[in-house]
Amino acid sequence: MARQVQEPGRYSYGTSHLSSHDRGQSPGYYSGLSPNPRTLPPREPLDEATFFWLTNLKRLWARWKRSDAVNQMIHEYFASVLNPHEATLNIMIHCDDFHQGKSNSLSHTVIEEFERWRVGKESFLLSQLTPEVQLKAFNTIIRQRNPNLVKVVFNTYEMLRVKESFLPAIRDLIDNKMYKEACQSATLLKLEEYFSTEDFLVPLIFQDKLLVAEEFLQTSPRLQHEVVAFLDHLLGRRHGVREEIDRIISRLQIPEVKRDKLYSKPLSKLVARLVKTYKLPPETCPNLNYRRSEGALQFLVHKKFQDNSLSVDSWREMAREAVGNDPRLHRELVDKVINQGAFKEAKYWVDEFGIPRSDWPGSLVAVINNEPELSASNSMDQSGEEEWEDSWDKDPQLEYHIFPLEHDCITLVDTPAVFRDFLEVIKNVKLVGIDCEWKPFFGSKRNDLALIQVALKHHVFILDAMMMGQGCPDLWREFGRVFWDNEGIVKLGFNLLNDLLMMKTSLPELESCKGNLGFLDLHLLWRKITKDFHFKFPFEGKDAGFSESLARLVELCLGHRINKMDQFSNWERRPLRKSQILYAALDAYCLLEVYDKIADCCDQQGIPFEEIKNEILTQMKSRKKVIKNSKKSTSRKEDVVFSDANLIGKDKNFSGEVEVP
């Protein structure tokens, strides 16, 4: 294809005999922001030779797109002009697709090819890269929508080398409410130290443009703390958060605010995510911690007094954990218990916290005055509590599935010697049930694995991962080799992904395990046989609408649910209570019972159980497939969500985070 190109060195810029109508723009050098700062700057007219060369380039591009011919033509042009840096800007901005900023556009190709062409010529070209050219490049590119194109131009024009010179331009962007462009520029130029949270971070958060703000924050620990502290302060306003936000919006004159993102709940989620992302200490966000504790307390009260799904020991352990040493939460706990009419329990807590009688709620004082025996019986002496606790815990209308073995068939593995004995035993088995326990957490800090339960047909081993997790690396590696990576052992679980991830996270020695070999998720089996084969369970259960939990599956297969009152308890406390040990053993052993029952029923109903089992075992080998299926199912632990008025979380299995309004 013929190309009209003048001899090298003959191109000129800034003057032209062609009319403004022919060029589509008025002449004149662009410096500073355009009259409308949100639009691209005006283009300088091209001289006649460059205009015709660009016309030929556009024709070649229309025919071949990105090709060797196009690249060669562009490189020859760079070699022929007096100032390739300035010429590249003029060519790029006169490309018809410049405003689109797409990576497959001609304008993007021009700057990328210039970046390639200048390799090895940097020292020669440096004298031509004047501050005026750099500022022109900045003003030309900063409004582009494609951040990759902006980044290429910033790198090519070496703006980082003279980054402070762009501070006035960025201040102009801020004054013109172009917060995204200002933040993007400051990020690329590494100018974090020159800006405060209110310059553009707060406006971007209020506009729900979080990705740009968070990219800027990645390299500034100071601003990470300041932004989180600012947002946490808003959460502490309790009843005046909207008014405070309105004052900030008015003072900073922030346009295009997304007010639906500025309520307590989305703000709480944002603070929690930032704290986690930047690994900030919990004390950075005291108001978020307080709200989480409030939500945890609300959840616990609901489970104890509405669901009746916590034992007294579990309730008291976790309530004490939730309120910590905060006197405000101590009083709130007492008030919530009184609202449930449990005055004897309220008396227990005022004694536990050492709250002076003068600070007791009036209703509690009145009850104590009318029933003196309540005060006498509710000291730390439990003599008066046992009868009440027994009636509180037990629902006479419910029967639970019980652990079928003798209690001496449970071994607590808490020393290296017992661990070695366990490893010898496990080598010779073909089928086990496996489950894990860890202390529930309320969002501020994830807890480590506490127990791994491995159930055999006639015995259950409870591995104390908290006691032995750090002290027996060789034994844990052996556990990974003879158990985890042993495909010959079928390892039954329910919604296994949470447990497998927790084990690998808490026990680094298991990270080298090959995969999920021999793991059979009974939840996947349940869904497969009911959806594809219309499997009929031997029992219907009392609540047909109950979620797909292990308790429900046990009820369908064995006739009664598992008593979950000890599930939500402090699994890190030592020694473990007998009821905790029994619950942990049953939670793993029931998997074997359910598996046997499903296998028998499949045989009776003509369903190919072995074929289905092998399909799921194969599926479990792929981590991606396991994650995909896990997202479709409920979590093994209990999901907890609160609305502004009521607890709306259902009895799923706890995932670990409590969300508060």
Query: 17-21, 209-213, 516-520: which range is least confident on average?
Result: 17-21
Q: What is the pLDDT of residue 577?
A: 96
Q: Token digits for 271?
A: 């603070």
CA angle at 528 for the pair 522 and 531, rounded to the nearest 5°: 135
Q: How far apart are the first and last CA of the chain?
A: 67
Q: Is the pLDDT of residue 304 over 80?
A: yes
Residue 566, classed as helix, strand or coil, is coil
Contact of 79 with 2, CB cutoff 8 Å? no
Q: Is the pLDDT of residue 30 over 60?
A: no
Look at 125 and 645; give whichever has higher pLDDT: 125
Domain coordinates in residue numbering, the chain: 20-234, 307-393, 400-638
Contact of 620 with 514, CB cutoff 8 Å? no
Q: What is the pLDDT of residue 102?
A: 83
Tell me the torsion sign for CA atoms 545, 550, 554, 556. Answer: positive
Question: What are the residues facing 493 on neighbouring strands?
Answer: 521
pLDDT level of residue 542 (50, 70, 90 thresholds): confident
Q: What is the pLDDT of residue 41?
A: 58
Side-chain half-sphere of 14: how many Cα atoms within 13 Å? 4
Q: Is the pLDDT of residue 456 over 60?
A: yes
Mean pLDDT in the chain? 85
Q: Is the pLDDT of residue 21 over 60?
A: no
Average pLDDT over residues 323-336: 96
Q: What is the pLDDT of residue 392?
A: 41
Q: Is the pLDDT of residue 380 over 90?
A: no
pTM of the model: 0.74
Average pLDDT over residues 487-496: 96
pLDDT level of residue 623 (50, 70, 90 thresholds): low
Q: Is the pLDDT of residue 249 over 60?
A: yes
pLDDT level of residue 111 (50, 70, 90 thresholds): very high
Q: Is the pLDDT of residue 182 over 70?
A: yes
Q: Is the pLDDT of residue 435 over 50?
A: yes
Of 214, 193, 104, 90, the closest CA to residue 141 belongs to: 90
**Locus of tokens 């797909």:** 548
Look at 217 and 384; give whichever has higher pLDDT: 217
106-120, 373-387, 507-521, 524-538: range with highest mean pLDDT: 524-538
Percent of the chain residues topping a pLDDT of 90: 69
Average pLDDT over residues 407-418: 97
Q: What is the pLDDT of residue 470?
A: 85
Q: What is the pLDDT of residue 38?
A: 52
> Three-state SS across 310-336?
CCHHHHHHHHHHHHCCCHHHHHHHHHH
Q: Token digits for 408?
A: 């001496």
Q: What is the pLDDT of residue 395?
A: 54
Fold of 400-638: Nucleotidyltransferase; domain 5 (3.30.420)
Look at 556 and 382; give whichever has higher pLDDT: 556
**Locus of tokens 């582009």:** 144
Q: Provide the edge-to-edge strand list for the sheet that holds 460-464.
A: 410-413, 460-464, 451-455, 431-437, 490-493, 519-521
Q: Is the pLDDT of residue 355 over 90?
A: yes
Q: Is the pLDDT of residue 650 over 60?
A: no
pLDDT level of residue 34 (50, 70, 90 thresholds): very low
Average pLDDT over residues 356-362: 95
Residues 6+ apart with CB under 8 A from 137: 85, 89, 153, 156, 157, 159
Residue-wise pLDDT tens digits, 587-604: 999 999 999 999 999 999
Q: What is the pLDDT of residue 325?
A: 93
pLDDT level of residue 241 (50, 70, 90 thresholds): confident
Query: 254-263, 281-290, 592-601, 631-640: which range is least confident on average?
Result: 631-640
pLDDT level of residue 242 (50, 70, 90 thresholds): confident
Q: Taking the CB of residue 302, how many other CB atoms lie within 10 A of it?
A: 20
Average pLDDT over residues 622-651: 40
Q: Token digits for 531?
A: 């959806």
Look at 103 and 115; give whichever has higher pLDDT: 115
